[in-house]
Amino acid sequence: MTEYVGPTAVKILTNQAKEYALPYLRYVFCYGEIVEDFTNQRNALKLRKHMVKTRVDEAKRQLEHIYEDVEDWLRRAERELEETQNLKHEIDRVKCFKWCPKWGWRCCLSKKLAENTSIISKFLETSNSAQVSYHGSLQGIEFTTPTDSVGPASSKSTLIGIMEAINYNGVNMIGLYGMVGVGKTTLAKEVGKHAREQKLFDKIVMFTVSQNPKINKIQDKVADFFGLKFETSSQEGKAEALFRSMQGVNKILVIVDDLWEEFKLESIGIPFGDGHKGCKILLNKRHQQVCIKMNCQKVIQLGILSEDEAWVLFRERSGLDDYCSSLNDVAKEVAGECKGLPPVLDTVTRALKDESLDARRALKQRFKDSRHLVNEEVLGDFFKGLKLSYAYLKEGNNQITENDIQMCFLLCSLFPE
């Protein structure tokens, strides 16, 4: 029994000793091979990292989104290269003792190199250099422009009313109406800006319908906001694709600007009501009757500026000071003729800029004498300001006359969109 157990035990111990000792023997006698493997793998990692980084930089220039695992891989690869830089220095130091190496030191270094070679190999296996990014949806740049701010108190109160309606669970379609020039589009953009800042919706999209809506162009714009690439060119196919894509987003705000008449949102592919409880619609139009036809649960009017609001805005844009009371008196009468319409106030203040008191008096008189052939009740005040700004068009340089600019303006009016 003793004779049988003894050789078996010795054999087991011998095998274990070999298993334990062989790696260390390799660290000592295969040092050159280990160094070569480490150097090759580290150089391969540097090249792979450079390639992935180049793809990432190009993707960012194209405004694409980088996958998180790619960003993480780049960070870990950079850290590994920095940490192994010291090992590279140690390799160079060992070369200095080529004829009289320190075996213990070289064995220890060889072990570190082998371990890091294994780590680098795994880095190379997990890198995904083929695809590092994806196309994201647009964020709606129209809601971030610095000029989109609601100043007058009347506009602010209207904004508050719209935001309250948006936050109310029982309302999914809101109508904002008012005559041309009162600032409905600016206010609608402000609504989108506030909704984004307060993170009320997962997606906010705004598009213009206008008098002659181009459905395909509207569909393409909405698709951009949702990162959707159409696989069909037909209007019906795009509508179905949009409908399904938008149903997959929990909360959506859709702002429809410049709506002239009753319009079927289904033709675009906008889900609302029973089709999508989380989709809210803000319709921006000129007439209250359109709100009724579109079955808006909440209808809000944006009126003209009050007399005080109009005067404050007029003074701000004219740069008037308090020292000249006679100039201010005339300016206040001119501001009153603008009838509280922001675009008329804007064009008139431009016309009056740097003008004398006599010129302001003449302008006031032209306002009062203005006549037109359009509907006085609906568009009369607006056309007064437009006519006046047309008369005061300035020359841009010495080679262009006032008449040339006016003719150019008339030519542009042939393209109402």
Give the tens place of pLDDT for each residue, 215-228: 999 999 888 888 88
Q: Which residues are within 8 A (CB) of 271 and not within 5 positions of it... i.e. 6 or more apart?
A: 243, 246, 247, 279
Q: How far is Cα 252 from Cα 174, in angstroms, rounded to an integer? A: 14
Instruction: Give the percent of the chain with pLDDT over 90.
Output: 10
Q: Contact, 136 vs 110, CB < 8 A?
A: no
Q: Are strands 133-134 and 65-66 parallel, antiparallel or unpaired?
A: antiparallel
What is the structure's pLDDT at 119? 84
What is the structure's pLDDT at 268? 92
Q: Residue 357 CA to chain centroid, in angstroms?
A: 46
Q: Which of 272, 315, 322, 276 is nearest to 297 (CA)?
A: 272
Average pLDDT over residues 140-152: 56
Same-domain check for residues 213 and 146: yes
Q: How far is Cα 95 from Cα 103, in angstroms, rounded to an integer? A: 13
What is the structure's pLDDT at 10? 43
What is the structure's pLDDT at 148? 45
Looking at the domain assignment, is residue 203 inside a domain?
yes
Q: Which residues are within 8 A (CB) of 219 and not within 5 positions of it... i.e. 6 or more apart?
A: 230, 235, 238, 239, 242, 268, 269
Looking at the domain assignment, is residue 417 inside a domain?
no
- 319: alpha, beta or left, given left = phi > 0 and alpha = psi -120 to 50? left
Looking at the domain assignment, is residue 15 inside a domain?
yes
Residue 72 has pLDDT above 60, yes or no: yes
What is the structure's pLDDT at 11? 47
Same-domain check for residues 358 and 316: yes
Looking at the domain assignment, is residue 190 inside a domain?
yes
What is the structure's pLDDT at 163? 93
Q: Which of 289, 269, 284, 277 is nearest to 171 (CA)?
A: 277
Share the mean pLDDT of the chain: 76
Question: E strands, 76-180, where?
Answer: 133-134, 173-177
Considering 242, 272, 301, which residue would you say is the last residue of a domain? 301
Same-domain check for residues 127 and 81: yes
Same-domain check for residues 116 and 153: no
User: What single DSSP character describes residue 273?
Assistant: G
Residue 332 has pLDDT above 80, yes or no: no
Quick one: CA torsion of 64, 67, 70, 75, rounded to 10 degrees?
A: 90
Confidence of residue 67 (pLDDT cuts 50, 70, 90): confident
Same-domain check for residues 254 and 311: no
Q: How far is Cα 330 from Cα 44, in angstroms, rounded to an integer? A: 79
Q: Which residues are within 8 A (CB) of 160 and not within 5 positions of it... i.e. 6 or more apart?
A: none
Looking at the domain assignment, is residue 77 inside a domain?
yes
Same-domain check for residues 297 and 178: yes
Six token digits for residue 197: 């800042």
- 397: alpha, beta or left, given left = phi > 0 and alpha = psi -120 to 50? beta
Considering 134, 161, 195, which residue would you say is the last residue of a domain? 134
Looking at the domain assignment, is residue 81 inside a domain?
yes
Residue 201: which CATH number?
A: 3.40.50.300
Average pLDDT over residues 259-268: 87
Q: Contact, 140 vs 225, CB < 8 A?
A: yes
**68-96 and 31-61 helices, crossing angle to 10°:** 150
Q: Contact, 28 vs 106, CB < 8 A?
A: yes
Residue 272 has pLDDT above 70, yes or no: yes
Six token digits for residue 160: 């508050």
Six token digits for residue 253: 């705000």
Looking at the domain assignment, is residue 226 inside a domain?
yes
Residue bearing the bigger pLDDT, 24 or 263: 263
What is the structure's pLDDT at 156? 84
Q: Contact, 196 vs 311, CB < 8 A?
A: no
Same-domain check for residues 109 and 150: no
- The number of domains in the chain is 3
Range from 13-22, 136-145, 186-195, 324-333 that averages highest in pLDDT: 186-195
Lowest mean pLDDT among 40-49, 66-75, 178-187, 362-371: 362-371
Q: How far is Cα 222 from Cα 220, in angstroms, rounded to an integer? A: 6
Looking at the domain assignment, is residue 94 inside a domain?
yes
Residue bearing the bigger pLDDT, 372 or 44: 44
**Phi, psi at residue 159, to the nearest 5°?**
-60, -45
- Structural Rg of the chain based on CA atoms: 37
Three-state DSSP at 243 gives helix
Same-domain check for residues 170 and 126: no
What is the structure's pLDDT at 17? 43
Same-domain check for residues 107 and 161: no
Range of the domain at 32: 2-134
Residue bearing the bigger pLDDT, 381 or 241: 241
Average pLDDT over residues 161-185: 87
* pTM reported for the whole predicted model: 0.60
Confidence of residue 13 (pLDDT cuts 50, 70, 90): very low
Residue bearing the bigger pLDDT, 33 or 298: 298
Q: How far is Cα 369 from Cα 384, in angstroms, rounded to an integer? A: 10
Q: How far is Cα 173 from Cα 284, in angstroms, rounded to an integer? A: 11
Average pLDDT over residues 359-380: 56
| pLDDT per position as a tens digit, 201-217 | 989 999 988 878 889 99
Q: Contact, 383 vs 374, CB < 8 A?
A: yes
Average pLDDT over residues 35-42: 83
Considering 68, 100, 134, which residue would you say is the last residue of a domain? 134
What is the structure's pLDDT at 191? 92
Same-domain check for residues 286 and 180: yes
What is the structure's pLDDT at 133? 77
What is the structure's pLDDT at 1? 46
| pLDDT per position as a tens digit, 104-118 | 666 777 777 778 888
Same-domain check for residues 193 and 288: yes
What is the structure's pLDDT at 375? 47
Average pLDDT over residues 345-368: 65
Residue bearing the bigger pLDDT, 155 or 152: 155
Q: Contact, 282 vs 174, CB < 8 A?
A: yes
Residue 289 one-letter amino acid: Q
Same-domain check for residues 265 and 361: no
